[in-house]
């Protein structure tokens, strides 16, 4: 049989991505750090580390701690700040060879508006991702856990973002992620990243202290994947599908099989984060695996997977079988 | 009924549970021999947790993969008579690599290796080291690079009873401080070595160890605080890419003296 090329491209709102694999903010620096290890042009898109109005040195070490099937981090949004980002990092972004998304963080609505207003007109930025869910700074979770505040924040930013795709990254540390998704979309989000890290803690039993200097940190890695898949599915079905807002699904993705799960759950693109620390060539391997999977299934495009999860109305499996009883 | 995972022995089950690690482990390169398109790398470590236990359980022929070389190595300080390599415990591998370089550049090196006790010093002794803290060709790993070695142990079970700091003090006295010092080992020991060097205006470079996530400068976890002229008086640099070797005089040590 003749092997036909499958189409891996996806449409993330107004952005066309060559494939659905996106690097996750905070796990891939500002761009060129991974250039020695793999061809960044093979990515669907790249997401920078968070940019705040002023430079931040971040939290005291220890900043990370490995846990079973995952890791905790409390970096504290260490970054060079808006001015140095524009001067030193932005000129590097075109070298990536793929669309660049810039993650934006702040303490107040004014902070986000200031950074987004400055970055939006600059060339080389395809999208702005609002980090409203960093669990490692004093008030980082406030915007990410209060729907009213989130709507207000996104509305304010929407007013100054004209060119770049506006993405909001949701926190899983809420009782109903769909309510947050709705608030972000009402504010004007064009895409959603689901999910950020889960708040966690690990304890040194010799010292009776937290393993992280910050006390708590964000849990990432394969440990959180089932939670992330569930939240993508929930956001997709409850909110995003009906209004046509695409989701970047992320949380513990390590293999192409993981990516397929996220796509079926309703993600249009899939973020790879913690896995990059272990193997920076993971995105290429996922693309290869996805292409082979589509071919085996006789599918022409990766888009045919998005949201195809078979799920009954009550959330039960719609798998046919003998009736219970 | 039993359950098993392919490739994982049926027991001990504890080993299996603890193997659910995700991150790579950083190691220094102790030696490197090129053979055509392949090379042999010496890695020396101690089992301290699930990751090193897993690596230690590997057998000849087992496969794994490595990412490297990463970071910046020791560079010889110019214009000194002797290059002194001070290690604690299993901190000596990067200094072995460095001793080889020094020999190739026809520079003179002396090693000082210490441990709490004999069993925690995995060097091959071809002769009993001097108990008075004099350097001899006793450790074959350093002797291979023509570097004589002073051995110390806290409990006196091997070499000189005392610390590497004690031995370094005696050695620098004998050399009239015409030396540069390179150190790797527990932070407390490196701090003491750095203080001795600073008091004598002897250059000192330290290979630091930090909790690392990626080794490539992206996760921002392995920060080292370095003194500077700014208002704050210090800034962070990354151990993995800016280091792990730093000018010891600039390091703000995490341990107390």
Find the residue in B nearest to A254 (Cα).
Answer: B22
| Residue A311 DSSP code | B
Q: Tell whether A149 is covered by a domain.
A: yes
Q: Tell whether A282 is covered by a domain.
A: yes
Q: In the prediction, which pLDDT does A315 show?
A: 59
Chain segment B61-86, per-residue pLDDT in tens = 888 888 888 999 999 999 999 999 99
Q: Tell whether A280 is covered by a domain.
A: yes
Q: Average pLDDT for residues B149-172, to the nearest whole number? A: 96
Q: Tell whether A213 is covered by a domain.
A: no
**Pairing between β-strand A21-23 and β-strand A269-272 as defined by DSSP bridges:** parallel
Q: In the prediction, which pLDDT does A313 show?
A: 64
SS3 A271: strand
Q: Which carries the bigger pLDDT value, residue B15 or residue A35? A: A35
H or E stretch at A217: strand A217-220
Q: In the prediction, which pLDDT does A274 show?
A: 95
Q: In the prediction, which pLDDT does B8 show?
A: 43
Q: Rounded to an integer, what distance in angstroms lies between the CA atom of residue A295 and that of residue A24?
A: 27
Q: In the prediction, which pLDDT does A139 show?
A: 58
Q: Tell whether A164 is covered by a domain.
A: yes
Closest approach of chain A CAs to the CA of B219, in angstroms? 6
Find the residue in B nearest to A29 (Cα).
Answer: B218
What is the residue-wise DSSP string for A69-138? TEEEE-----B-HHHHIIIIIGGGGGGGSS-EEEEE--SSHHHHHHHHHHHTTSTT--EEEEE---TTST
Q: Do B211 and A63 touch (CB under 8 A)?
A: yes
Q: Average pLDDT for residues B77-105, to the nearest whole number? A: 96
Q: Tell whether A211 is covered by a domain.
A: no
pLDDT higher than threshold 50 for residue B7? no
CB contacts of B220 in chain A (<8 Å) are 26, 49, 58, 63, 75, 78
pLDDT higher than threshold 60 for residue B248? yes
Structural domain boundaries enclosing A56: 10-61+75-201+218-305
- Could you confirm whether A116 is annotated as catalytic? no
Q: How many domains does chain A have?
A: 1
A66 φ/ψ sector (left φ>0, alpha ψ -120 to 50, else beta) = beta
Chain segment B106-156, per-residue pLDDT in tens = 999 999 999 999 999 989 999 999 999 999 999 999 999 999 999 999 999
Q: Do A75 and B220 touch (CB under 8 A)?
A: yes
Q: Rounded to an integer, what distance in angstroms lies between the CA atom of residue B173 and that of residue B176?
A: 5
Tell me the ipTM for this assembly: 0.85
* Count of CA atoms in the C-beta half-sphere (13 A) of B188: 6
Q: In the prediction, which pLDDT does A135 show?
A: 60
> What's the mean pLDDT when you consider all of chain B?
89
A147: domain CATH number is 3.20.20.70
pLDDT higher than threshold 90 for residue B13? no
Interface test with A, best of B65, B220, B244 (most A CBs within 10 A): B220
Q: In the prediction, which pLDDT does A216 show?
A: 94
CB contacts of B214 in chain A (<8 Å) are 27, 276-277
Q: Do A68 and B17 touch (CB under 8 A)?
A: yes
pLDDT higher than threshold 70 for residue B194? yes
Q: Which residues of chain A are modeled with pLDDT < 50?
A: 1-2, 324-325
Q: Tell whether A1 is covered by a domain.
A: no
Q: In the prediction, which pLDDT does A242 show?
A: 97
Q: Tell whether A276 is covered by a domain.
A: yes
CA angle A218-B26-B75, nearest 5°? Answer: 125
């Amino acid at each position: 049989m003749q092997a036909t090329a499958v189409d891996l491209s996806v449409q993330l709102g107004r952005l066309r991505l060559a494939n659905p694999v996106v690097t996750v903010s905070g796990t891939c620096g500002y761009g060129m750090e991974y250039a020695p290890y793999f061809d960044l042009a093979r990515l669907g898109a790249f997401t920078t580390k968070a940019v705040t109005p002023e430079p931040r040195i971040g939290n005291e070490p220890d900043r990370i701690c490995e846990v079973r099937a995952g890791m905790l981090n409390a970096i504290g949004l260490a970054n060079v700040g808006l001015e140095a980002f524009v001067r030193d990092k932005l000129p590097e972004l075109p070298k990536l060879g793929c669309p660049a998304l810039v993650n934006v963080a702040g303490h107040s609505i004014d902070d986000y508006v200031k950074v987004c207003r400055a970055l939006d007109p600059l060339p080389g930025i395809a999208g702005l991702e609002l980090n409203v869910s960093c669990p490692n700074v004093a008030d980082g979770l406030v915007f990410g856990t209060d729907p009213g505040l989130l709507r207000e924040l996104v509305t304010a930013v929407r007013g100054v973002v004209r060119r770049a795709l506006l993405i909001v990254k949701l926190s899983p540390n809420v009782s109903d992620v769909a309510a947050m998704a709705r608030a972000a979309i009402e504010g004007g989000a064009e895409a959603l990243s689901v999910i950020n890290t889960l708040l966690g803690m690990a304890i040194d039993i010799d010292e009776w202290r937290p393993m992280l200097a910050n006390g708590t940190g964000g849990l990432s890695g394969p440990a959180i994947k089932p939670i992330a898949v569930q939240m993508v599915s929930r956001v997709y079905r409850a909110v995003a599908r009906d209004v046509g807002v695409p989701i970047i699904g992320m949380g513990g993705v390590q293999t192409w099989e993981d990516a397929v799960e996220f796509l079926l759950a309703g993600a249009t693109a899939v973020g790879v984060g913690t896995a990059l620390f272990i193997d920076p060539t993971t995105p290429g391997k996922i693309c290869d695996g996805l292409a082979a999977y589509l071919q085996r299934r006789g599918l022409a495009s990766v888009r045919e997977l998005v949201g195809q999860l078979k799920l009954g109305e009550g959330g039960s499996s719609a798998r046919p079988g003998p009736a219970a009883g | 009924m039993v359950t098993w995972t392919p490739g994982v022995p049926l027991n001990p089950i504890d080993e299996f549970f603890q193997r659910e690690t995700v991150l790579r482990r950083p190691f220094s390169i102790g030696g490197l021999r090129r053979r055509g398109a392949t090379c042999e790398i010496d890695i020396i470590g101690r089992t301290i947790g699930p990751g090193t236990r897993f690596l230690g359980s590997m057998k000849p022929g087992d496969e794994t993969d490595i990412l490297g070389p990463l970071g910046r190595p020791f560079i010889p300080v110019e214009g000194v008579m002797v290059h002194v390599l001070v290690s604690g415990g299993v901190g000596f591998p990067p200094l072995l690599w460095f001793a080889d370089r020094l020999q190739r550049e026809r520079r003179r090196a002396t090693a000082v290796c210490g441990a709490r006790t004999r069993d925690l010093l995995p060097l091959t002794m071809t002769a009993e080291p001097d108990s008075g803290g004099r350097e001899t060709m006793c450790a074959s790993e350093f002797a291979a690079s023509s570097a004589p070695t002073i051995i110390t142990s806290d409990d006196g079970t091997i070499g000189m009873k005392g610390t590497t700091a004690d031995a370094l003090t005696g050695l620098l006295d004998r050399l009239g401080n015409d030396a540069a010092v390179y150190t790797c080992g527990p932070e407390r020991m490196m701090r003491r070595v750095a203080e001795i060097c600073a008091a004598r205006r002897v250059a000192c470079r330290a290979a630091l160890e930090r909790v690392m996530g990626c080794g490539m400068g992206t996760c921002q976890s392995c920060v080292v605080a370095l003194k500077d002229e700014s208002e704050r008086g210090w800034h962070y640099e990354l151990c993995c890419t800016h280091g792990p070797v730093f000018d010891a005089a600039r390091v703000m040590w995490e341990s107390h003296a």
